Structure 1
Amino acid sequence: MIRYVLFTSLLLASSLAQASLLTPFRNEDGSTRWQYVANFSSGVLIILLTLVVIVLFTTWRRAKRYNIELEEIRAHLEERVKDRTAKLEQEVAQHVVTTQRLQASESYIQNILNSMPLALVGMNKDGTITHWNRRAEQLSGIKAEAAISHNIWSIYPDMTVTPRHIEQALEQRKAVTLRYSQPGSYHMDITVYPLENYSEPGVVVLVDDVTRRVIAENMLIHHDKLSSMGELASAMANDINIPLQAILFDLRSFQNILDNGHLLPAENAPNADTERLHQLLQNAAENGQQVESVIRNLLQFARGRTGESQAANVIDILEHSLTQANDVLSRPDAMAFNSICIERHFESDVPQVPCYITELQQVFLGLFRHAYQALVEKAAKQDPAFTPTIKLYVGQSYDALSIRIQHNGTGLSSEEQMYLFEPYLHSGNEEQPAAGADKRLSFAYFVVTEQHGGHMAVTSDPDVGTTFHIQLELH
């Protein structure tokens, strides 16, 4: 601004010096009165400087006012920044506290889910895994890191739950319950729950291992059955034994009288009819003795077990079961059991095994009956050179006792092997009894696997024969 005023003054002075404006400052003789010119220029300059000063003062006052306003705005902004910072710090502190609480709650829920004795699997509607707890890891052998975000059927094809079960739970909006079991190994209750009030449709699958409960229930049921059978066997044995003893006494008395010849005149010699009568009496006496042996076995079975397992020698139990089989297994139109060749292959110093002796006797007797029927069936088709044989093997295998009962009778087909240890009704067709129900060994399988915690299997070939495999834990 000052430069502008000075520049204007110079231009003005130059103009005054060169223009006609200097006329009032000239003398009559035409000379210029420079004193007046200087005074006039000084006055003009003073006026201009005054104007400059006024402009500068006004500008300064305005700048000062602007500075004050800027300071006020700055102070206001700083105050707002402080307030906002304080609020942000408070919000951050609350957010930290909320985050900590959420993390604590999530960790608590996670610990609860991992501590559950049930396997818990979360899935969306397509079967993609969203949660996999520790029990699921133990049952499947798959870590959660390898399972989450993967399809359940791709990483665990044996999963019992199918896509249809998930669709059913989501459509009906209620739980779907399944039962999966492997007799003698495990029993599982599986429940599929639909998720509610969740953005993405999904389900939660709970797998409950109810093996112990089912085993306890089955043992209780079978114990009740055995008790009822024992009472029935005892009543039947006592009811049959009295008239049987009377019949046997009469048969022996009649045979003694016949042997002494009291029924024949002294001059008559024994003839063919007399011999036939002797043979009939002898057969009746033998059949009566077999019935008496059956009654003894029924009475022994009726006494049942003591309620606790006891250490026993399996070889002795096998031999006793063989004795029972010799007494009770026979058919009028076929060979007797005691005519079968028995081969014994027993290891020395076989340790005793904790068991229920009566139940094991019934198991072995059932296996001998099954072998006897197969041998009789094959003997009817074979040439006279066929030798019915049962081989018995007993030996120790690590921490278990191995028992094998092998015969060379008619073997089992693949379908018969599949249903051999099942109950008397086909699964899926409970209204019709299974074919060959009299050849089933479900009771023997239950006694070995459930009551004794052992294992039982069968290998067979229709042309070679059948082998039953039993393993009993020594401890």
Structure 2
Amino acid sequence: MSYNPPLFPNPDVDLRAMSKMSHKLFACWLLLLASDGFASITDVFKDEDGHTKWQHLANFSAGLLITLLTITLVFLAISYRNAWRVNRELTEIKKNLEERVRERTANLATTNSKLEAEIAEHRETTQRLVASESYIKSILDSMPLMLIGLNKEMAITQWNPAAEKITGAKSDMVLGKNLWEAYPTITLTPEQLKEVLDSGSNRVIQHSQRGQYYFDITLYALQGNDEVGIVILLDDVTKRVKTENRMIELDKMASMGELAATMAQDIDTPLQRISQSLGQVYALAKSDDPDALAREHCKTLKHCLETALESSEYASAIVNNLADFALHQGGSAQLVNVPEVLEHTIELAGKVISEPNGLKFRDIPLHLQVEEKLSSAPCRIAELQQVFLGIFRHACYALGRCTRDGFSPLITVDVTEFYDSIWIKINHNGVGLTPEEQINIFEPYFLNNPDASAGLGTQRLSFAYFSITEHHHGQMAVTSDIDVGTTFHVQLQVKK
């Protein structure tokens, strides 16, 4: 792009410079005219008569003036050229300056945009932090647990409203104080807190006054870069523990009630037989003809006495079984051979289980199949015997009720080992369970209806289920079809 400088690139500067130069030249000319040197020069322009040769003087003056004007023009041209060059440089500088200003303005705009974005992000972060802090504070304030925060010097840094309510001390009164100075009745020791602080691990301490209150005290160690201390959570679990204890007591009472009802039914069967036999004997004894008694009723009397004796043996075996169970109840688990416990229980069941309709467990065919080289299992022998007795009693009851044509009672017991468990399957082909009975068979039974069948309640297996799942850490289930029979599945963990 060509550049055409103006005649006077900077008129104010050039005119002032030319005016000053003209004044200087004119002053020099006047000084020259006034000086003695000029007078001596004018003598050259005089003739012999002393008259001035004005024509020559005028020509000289005009030449001198032209020379001076030429010098002035040259000077002005040089000055103009210098001014043009300077003006061009100034224009370039101005152009560069404007470009820099534009660039700087653009950079400032970009910087301002970034700064505004950072400020907006900072504001958003600040709002989030404030919201988070408010949220955390709301959580701490609404916690039902007593929360106490301590620094490494055991001075209180947090004291939530639950702590204020329990202790009666306001947070502004205890913040910064030593824990035991602010809360002297707390059941923690400095050694316990120091152990948690040094190890950096969590710890739960249970504190209780039996029958009055129960507390779970949880200690959390803080190991952040900026904060080192401990958080103490005190949870008043009195209601929960009392409720749990009550539920445990109810479960125990239900189990004991089930056992008591079962034993009562077991004992009631031989006692009824004894009572019937004695009634028959008494009726024979009241006969008016002793000879007739001897002749016609001797066999009946003998049968009654045999039935009474056998029933008394049943009752005695039941009582002994109950006494043995009570003696060994609550004992520790022992490594036992499960098939041996089963065999002993089958032998015991033959002595104590019978039905009022005359069906005796010892008269029921039983097939026992045991896998070889079974591992030992940790069991409570007395409880496990009662579990198997309950299942056998249920099987005998179901077999005694069966009225299918061509029915032949049968009990099958399979004992196998699979991975880390021993599985016992006890199957009978008597009357099966309805879907509702399958759901309720492991639930406790409370006989509130006096007209209801007592037998239905005593066939529940809640104690067996509780013993297997809770005391033996195993599993117990049932599968049944009302027209085919029932199978009980018992799983026991083995000891490797």
TM-score, reference length from structure 1? 0.47
TM-score, reference length from structure 2? 0.45
